[in-house]
Amino acid sequence: MSNNFFNKPLELKIGVQILRFNSAYDITFSMEGRTAVSSVKLSELFKLSIDQLEMQAKTIAEINKSLFSILSRAIEEPDSIDRSMREIDPLTFSQDRSWRDIIKALNEGNEELNPIRMTALTKYIKYLSSLQDIIGYICSEKKQSIGAPVDDDKKEMREFEATWALDEIGSESGLDSQTKDKFKRLPKCKEVSVKLPPGGRLDVRLASYKFQLVATDDNVQFIDNNGVTILNKGINIIGRGDKSTIKVDVTQKDVSRTHLHIFISDDHTLLLTDLSSAGTFITTVFLK
């Protein structure tokens, strides 16, 4: 999503409160504050049993998968998100952070709210990812307290999904010098946060297609064998599809039409979401 100003402010009524948005950035800033799990929700989770926590984690994973399908389709067909969100049971959304009220308010609006729907869905998926991490942590702590075995794979996944600070920038060697064992696959349909400061370089592979993301003081650059492209603040789509922000060579058949979703914020944070079947890989040297 670009950071352009709207022709007129978009309004969203939540109960008696009216939120007004002048640009895509206003929407992003507002919704970002709702991606963290509230202290009230945390208190509720700590009271649940291990079985109840694991059941919630399973339900959240199913919801996340369903919402990502809607988001992926909306990237290709923006107008589809209006109908798709109306078809979702409002009870699917958590009452935490007023998310249910937000979705209800969006469903009462017309197509001019589609930019807000896109951002709200992206941020709600991020909220669910945060909720999954917390449930996994509480569950593992409860298991350790009673001497039950902890699932190492889930523990590794939680660690992998943490925010990475690229404070130590390593070698700036070319893409061809990278070897497969230096890359780790992103979890599919799960948002991963990367902190890429100015001067930072992140090597990425879409299946076998290699490129770099390079941060400067002003922007993030996509660099491959074809040259340098400046990515947009907000949403960027990498893939073979005609509506991709960066369209890779059509001969790269193992790259999906909508392969990688990159959201770029103003604080040098990149949110990476793999939507492919062949996988997205990043260099493990930056994992913390």
Residue 179 and residue 116 share a domain: no
Residue 208 and residue 181 share a domain: yes
Residue 123: phi and psi, rounded to 5, are -75, -30
Residue 16 and residue 155 share a domain: yes
Q: Which of 160, 176, 211 is the last residue of a domain?
A: 160
Tokens 């100003």 — which residue? 5
CATH number, domain containing residue 258: 2.60.200
Residue 112 and residue 176 share a domain: no
Residue 144 and residue 221 share a domain: no
Residue 190 and residue 94 share a domain: no
Tokens 């800033």 — which residue? 29
Residue 155 and residue 171 share a domain: no
Residue 180 and residue 146 share a domain: no
> What is the predicted pLDDT for the residue at 11?
74
Q: Which of 115, 143, 160 is the last residue of a domain?
A: 160
Residue 47 and residue 83 share a domain: yes
Burial (Cβ within 10 Å: 0-12, 13-18, ≥19) of residue 92: middle
Residue 101 and residue 179 share a domain: no
Q: Which of 118, 145, 160 is the last residue of a domain?
A: 160
> What is the predicted pLDDT for the residue at 24?
66
H helix runs in the chain, sequence order: 24-32, 39-46, 50-76, 80-86, 99-107, 114-145, 152-160
| Mean per-residue pLDDT pooled into runs of 10, the chain (288 residues) | 60 74 74 85 91 91 84 78 89 90 85 82 84 86 76 48 37 38 78 84 88 88 85 88 84 86 82 88 64
> What is the predicted pLDDT for the residue at 47?
92
Q: Total structural domains in the chain?
A: 2
Residue 54 and residue 127 share a domain: yes
Contacts for 87 with CB less than 8 Å, ≥ 6 apart: none
Domain that holds residue 201: 164-286
Residue 146 and residue 40 share a domain: yes
Identify whether the C-beta of residue 102 lies closer than 8 Å to the C-beta of residue 119. Answer: no
> What is the predicted pLDDT for the residue at 59?
92
> What is the predicted pLDDT for the residue at 257?
85
